């Protein structure tokens, strides 16, 4: 890892093992994972290499997702009667369920970021965090468990309801979390007008999406606009700005250069790279997404 022009590029963040998740095997354009007590077989177009685990391990999967090539939507085959179940991460509990878009409510590679968020905010007194495109709220709950006051934004009412379920499962009902269904860009621009600031900002924008009032989100067009607003929402005691990106036409270097334009005037560094998970069988490493994060100089060594 080298340091150059305020960057530390590039770093591969491999999610450390945790009790309720394992990537058992990956290959043949599919991945086999254990979420809690259930094993799940899902498509993975980037896994062009051969499988490593014996067929009998794949055939014993509790759930298997089937979809036409190049399509996200599909159907599940179940060997287990369970279609909803719970799992946890370092004290935070969350509900998993089979969705029609092959997801189950958690992105395990984000464990690297969850640990970072917990450590960075846990070292501060009453920090505030804005979580945009927050989905089922795991990052928000991790931050709240570390003592942060959290504002969680997502455009989906179903995702907000799911996040609230996870809050109750985690025993964080009294934690200072605002769950808001809104368009991320509109919310950020309103907060700028209100003079609101946050010590930490997390965002995980999709490639394409729609807001609750049918606002259209395009990653490459709208992310610079959003970061322009967010640059005005950083407090005078900033902790970090963290972006995850699942956009395949983007590089981590491009993401870092973009973040560099919109980070606070405080001295700091942008680190960028990829999030990855290690498979149990075959010792494969699988990269799932890109990330970039800014930290103040005193925290970024």
Strand-pairing partners, residue 131, are 152, 202
How many domains is the chain built from? 1
Query: How far apart (Å, rounded) are the C-alpha atoms in residues 63 and 41?
Result: 6
* pTM of the entire predicted model: 0.93
Query: How far apart (Å, rounded) are the C-alpha atoms in residues 142 and 131?
Result: 11
| Residue range(s) defining the domain that contains residue 67 | 2-299
Q: DSSP 3-state assignment of 127?
A: coil
| CATH code, domain with 24 | 3.40.50.150
Query: How far apart (Å, rounded) are the C-alpha atoms in residues 58 and 49?
Result: 16
Whether 154 and 134 have beta carbons less than 8 Å apart is answered as yes
Q: In tens digits, what is the pLDDT along the chain, a chain of 301 residues?
A: 334 445 566 789 999 889 999 999 999 999 999 999 999 999 998 899 999 999 999 999 999 999 887 677 889 999 988 889 999 999 999 999 999 888 999 999 999 999 999 999 999 999 999 999 999 999 999 999 999 999 999 999 999 999 999 999 999 999 999 999 999 999 999 999 999 999 999 999 999 999 999 999 999 999 999 999 999 999 999 999 999 999 777 889 899 989 988 877 678 889 999 999 999 998 899 999 999 999 997 775 5
């Amino acid at each position: 890892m080298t340091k150059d022009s305020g960057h530390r590029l590039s770093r591969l963040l491999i999610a450390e093992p945790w009790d309720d998740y394992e990537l058992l095997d990956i290959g043949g354009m599919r991945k086999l994972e254990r979420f809690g007590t259930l094993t799940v077989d899902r498509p993975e177009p980037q896994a062009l290499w051969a499988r490593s685990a014996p067929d009998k391990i794949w055939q014993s999967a509790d759930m298997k997702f089937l979809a036409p090539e190049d399509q996200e939507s599909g159907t599940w085959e179940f060997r287990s009667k369970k279609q909803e179940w719970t799992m946890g991460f370092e004290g935070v509990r969350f509900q998993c369920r089979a969705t029609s878009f092959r997801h189950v409510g958690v992105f395990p590679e984000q464990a690297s970021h969850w640990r970072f968020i917990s450590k960075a905010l846990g070292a501060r007194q009453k920090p505030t965090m804005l979580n945009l495109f927050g989905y089922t709220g795991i990052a928000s709950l991790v931050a709240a468990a570390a003592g942060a006051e959290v504002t969680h934004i997502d455009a989906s009412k179903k995702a907000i309801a799911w996040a609230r379920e996870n809050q109750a499962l985690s025993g964080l009902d009294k934690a200072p979390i605002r769950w808001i269904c809104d368009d991320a860009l509109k919310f950020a621009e309103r907060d700028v007008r209100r003079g609101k600031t946050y010590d930490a900002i997390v965002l995980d924008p999709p490639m394409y999406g729609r807001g609750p009032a049918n606002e259209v989100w395009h990653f490459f067009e709208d992310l610079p606009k959003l970061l322009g607003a967010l640059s005005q929402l950083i407090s005078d005691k900033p902790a970090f700005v963290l972006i995850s990106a699942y956009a395949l036409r983007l590089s981590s270097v491009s993401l870092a250069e973009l973040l560099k334009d919109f980070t606070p005037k405080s001295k700091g560094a942008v680190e960028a790279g990829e999030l990855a998970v290690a498979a149990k069988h075959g010792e494969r490493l699988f990269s799932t997404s890109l990330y970039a994060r800014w930290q103040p100089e005193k925290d970024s060594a």
